[in-house]
Amino acid sequence: MSDFVRPARLYLSALLSLALSAALVPPAFAAGAAEPAAPSPGEPQIPSVDKGLSAERVLSDMEALEANADYEPGTLLALIDGDAEVASAGVTLKELAGALDGAGGNLSGGAESIDRAGRCSLSPVSAGDAGDLGILGDIEPVAAGDWLGGLVLARVPVPEGMGAGEAASLLAQDGRVVDFSLGYVCSPEYVSEGAEVEVATGDPIYGELDKQWHLANAAVPGAWSYMQNPDGTRARGGVTVAVIDSGCDLDHPDLVGNLDLANAYDAVAGGPLEGDVLANVDAEDGGEGIASHGTHVCGIVGAETGNGIGTAGVSYDARVLPINAIDPATGRTAPGAIEAAFDYLFGLIDSGEDSIRVVNISLGSRNAMPTVAALLGRALDEYGLTVVASAGNGASSAAHYPSDYEQCISVVCANAEGRKDPNSNYGSGTDVSAPGCYVWSTVDGGGYGYKTGTSMAAAIVSGVAALLYTMDPGATPQQVRDAVVGGAEPLSEPEETAAGMVNATDAMELLLFGVDYGDVGTEEWYVTGGYFTYVARAGIMRGYSGTASFGPYLDVTRAEFATVLYRMANPGSGATTDPSLYEDDETGFSDAVDREYYTAALNWAKREGIMTGDASSGYTTVRPNDSLSRQEAAVMSRRFAGSLGADVGVEGMAAPALEGWDGVAEWARDAMTWCYHREVITGWDNRDGTFSALPLKTVDRSQMTKIATVLDIEFAK
């Protein structure tokens, strides 16, 4: 791609950046744009452009693009003044949009919606405006949302017998046309080799991953472990992923429960989605691999997880909103269809559908798409959307769109050995890699099959992003991007790309805890039980400062136990940053120390009667750095609950039926009984059907996560 051609095709986005007051693309090449006048209050600013240069750019683009066909030669895209009159209707384009929306023309864009399935003509212009040029007599509006700043984006068919260059010249003479470009299109990013379709049962997400190797390679099950709540429920749902693709099999048994059927939309036909528009593509007609593309992508993102059939979606049951942008006649996007899809999404969000957080675009082109560049900035900055796009399958480091736009997370395709797939694009415009070779997912007709390509890789990253938003709904797109990219691991052969392999577990840890804990096993009981996630997110327990270690099997010291209790009772206290809290030891214990991390906690614990000192020393010592036994932890836990007003009586509570109960000290028996019945400290599992008291066994940090979780939920909250 020459340096001349690329900025030429970005020109329209420079125009939009003026119209929207958002400099999304540096307009270094926009010498033809006049300096905009100061806008009138409440009126959109419509800039003046040298449209003769735009016509020249159409001609140069055609010459450069004829070899790759990533545009529709018979269609131009035009930005038209929304105040232009519609022929024989007596209304403006914008007014027509509102009228159609009120009549149920479609669901897009609120009051700015237009019926994209219908065509309309603009009224003939006066002779003073170059006469009736005839080029706007059969236009098809695509988008008219607020993000266009009072303009309407429309497809303009090139009249029969007229070339695109001549049509562009006529558009340049029409005063209602603000700017125009070729009708650029995208194609599904798949590689056809190895396509296989079969019906299967299984969903073996807790056994061998088998055909779902991509889940293991992207460390997805570990991320799922963090989604367990302490009450035994799974954190799931609440997030919607919009999939702009070829639609979806709306009746697939492994998808239907997670599909947003009420809002599924066809941005090409301009109405409700009826299915995957590529469902009936015949392989003999060159469609091998492309059939069911949207259904396959939707399944990778959001097939029902744990339902015992088929495959498991990466997102663990996020909602999936399928939107078709593909013209079934060509197998590529219709010009302006991606813009129409975003226009629709913006309207949904404006109407209250605020669960939409991720957009997957497994489509791409070698050609820049100016209006897509403009709306991606709006999607990120104003609507908080994380947009994930496939990097393309051209085995090239050349520019690729929309993935190369900085607002997207661009995804490279990797294989099971952790190497970049030879067909995948790579280079400085990419952000992260993901499994994409022979990925098993849903296909049309209720079946399953393999597909390969950056389309599949992008869908995995979209699923990971949905996991992160599920666990942290308040996360920003930048925080999610940082977690996904920062948690990635280097590829086995990283010489061609620095886009490391996505690691869903590490991404989850970076987002939730700010660190990738190297010593926390995601299949350990304290993680799968939801305890570790709870205390870490609540700031009750943290790792060791300056390290990536949590120390789950290190003993809890008496001072650490007091500090954890203090944090629960005094959230956000600033115990180690406010000198008035930690400067002086007030306990009277001879072995307590000023200005230690635990000083404020010990002062508080002494005042509350939670730590009274050692009887053996006449209550003059507290042994802050000694380990804590189970019976000592029980006593402190019961006193803590009592200090918060809880009923800590043991009347009616039977002594626990635990082996070794006779070894519990007399002074700890009531506390051990209370903790057992309140499930704070229960019996030690002997793994043979019996449980032991083990009163003298020390408490480690993994056990402390459960103690702290129960105390915080039941008594401190």
130-134: long-range contacts, CB 8 A cutoff, minimum separation 24: 130/173, 130/174, 130/175, 133/170, 133/173, 133/174, 134/159, 134/170
Maximum average pLDDT range among 180-189, 490-499, 555-564: 555-564
pLDDT at 307: 86
Q: Are strands 356-361 and 386-390 parallel, antiparallel or unpaired?
A: parallel
pLDDT band at 301 (very low <50, low <70, confident <90, very high): very high
Span of 22-31, 66-75, 637-646 with lowest mean pLDDT: 22-31
pLDDT at 2 (0 to 100): 29
* Cα 349 to Cα 12: distance, rounded to the nearest angstrom: 26
Q: Confidence band (pLDDT; 50, 70, 90) for 644? A: very high
**Which conformational region is residue 193 in: left (phi greater than 0), alpha (psi within -120 to 50 degrees), or beta?**
beta
Q: Would you place residue 67 in the very low, low, confident or very high pLDDT band (cuts 50, 70, 90)? A: low
- Higher pLDDT: 29 or 654? It is 654
Please state the rounded mean pLDDT for residues 219-226. Answer: 94
Residue 201 has pLDDT above 60, yes or no: no
- The band of 209, judged by pLDDT with boundaries at 50, 70 and 90, is low
Residue indicated by tokens 């496939």: 390
Higher-pLDDT residue of 8, 114: 114
Q: Does the structure show a pLDDT above 60 at 378?
A: yes
Nearest residue to 682 via CA among 710, 715, 714: 710
Is residue 210 over pLDDT 90? Answer: no
Cβ-contact 101, 66 below 8 angstroms: no
pLDDT band for position 623 (50/70/90)? very high
* 393 has a pLDDT exceeding 50: yes
Output the average pLDDT for the chain. 84
pLDDT at 20 over 60: no
Phi, psi of 557 (to 5 degrees): -85, 165
pLDDT at position 17, please? 46
In three-state secondary structure terms, 344 is helix
Provide mean pLDDT across the span 460-475: 96
> Higher pLDDT residue, 29 or 546?
546
Query: Mean pLDDT across the stretch 429-448?
Result: 93
Question: Closest Cα partner for 184 from 169, 166, 162, 164?
Answer: 164
CA–CA separation, 100 and 120 (whole Å) = 12
Residue 463, pLDDT > 90, answer yes
Q: Taking Cα atoms as reference points, which of 105, 447, 420 lies closest to residue 251?
A: 447
Backbone region of residue 677 per phi and psi (left: phi > 0; alpha: psi in -120 to 50; beta: other values): alpha
Structure confidence at residue 101 (pLDDT): 45
The whole-number average pLDDT for the span 116-139 is 66
Helix axes 477-486 and 504-513, enclosed angle (nearest 10): 130
Q: Is the model's pLDDT at 286 over the cut of 50?
A: no
Is residue 575 scored above 90 in pLDDT?
A: no
Q: Is the pLDDT of residue 483 over 50?
A: yes
User: Where would I find the H helices in 305-407?
Assistant: 337-350, 370-381
Maximum C-alpha span of the chain: 106
What does the pLDDT average to over 329-341?
Answer: 93
pLDDT at 696: 97
In this prediction, residue 99 has a pLDDT band, given cuts at 50, 70 and 90, of: low
Q: Tell me how crowded residue 103 is: count the other CB atoms within 10 A of its CB.
A: 9
* Count, residues in the chain: 717
Is the pLDDT at 200 greater than 60? The verdict is no
The domains located in the chain, with CATH, are 48-184 (no CATH), 192-513 (3.40.50.200), 543-716 (no CATH)
101-110, 328-337, 455-464: which has the minimum mean pLDDT? 101-110
Give me the mean pLDDT over the 258-281 stretch.
92
Mean pLDDT of the 188-201 span:
54
Instruction: Quote the pLDDT of residue 716.
Output: 92
Average pLDDT value for residue range 229-238: 86
Assign 309 a pLDDT band (cuts: 50, 70, 90): confident
More confident residue, 109 or 451: 451
pLDDT band at 494 (very low <50, low <70, confident <90, very high): low
H helices of 66-146, in order, are 93-102
For residues 163 and 178, what is the distance between their CA atoms, to the nearest angstrom?
20
CA angle 442/444/449 to nearest 5° reads: 40
CA 327/CA 23 separation, integer angstroms: 31
* pLDDT for position 156: 93
| One-letter amino acid of 581 | L
Catalytic residues: 245, 293, 455
Six token digits for residue 64:
């450069």
Of the candidate ranges 182-191, 452-461, 587-596, 615-624, the one whose mean pLDDT is the lowest: 182-191
Question: What pLDDT shows up at residue 293?
Answer: 94
- Evaluated on CA atoms 657, 659, 663, 668, the torsion sign reads negative
Cross-strand partners of 187: 364
Residue 533 has φ and ψ, to the nearest 5°, of -60, -40
Among 321, 170, 351, 348, residue whose Cα is nearest residue 260: 321
Q: What is the mean pLDDT of residues 116-132?
A: 61
Give the model's confidence band at 126: pLDDT under 50 very low, under 70 low, under 90 confident, else very high.
Answer: low
Bridging pattern class, strands 240-245 and 319-324: parallel
User: What is the DSSP annotation of 170-189?
Assistant: HHHH-TTEEEEEEEE--EE-
Strands 408-414 and 432-435: parallel
Output the pLDDT for position 87.
82
Model confidence pLDDT, tens digit, residues 155-188:
999 988 888 889 999 999 888 999 999 898 999 9
Peptide bond into 328 cis (omega under 30): no
For 607, residues 6+ apart whose C-beta sits below 8 A from its C-beta are: 586
Q: Quick one: pLDDT at residue 118?
A: 58
> How far is residue 97's CA from residue 91's CA, in Å, rounded to a whole number?
10
Which residues, 6+ apart, have CB-to-CB distance to 127 below 8 Å? none
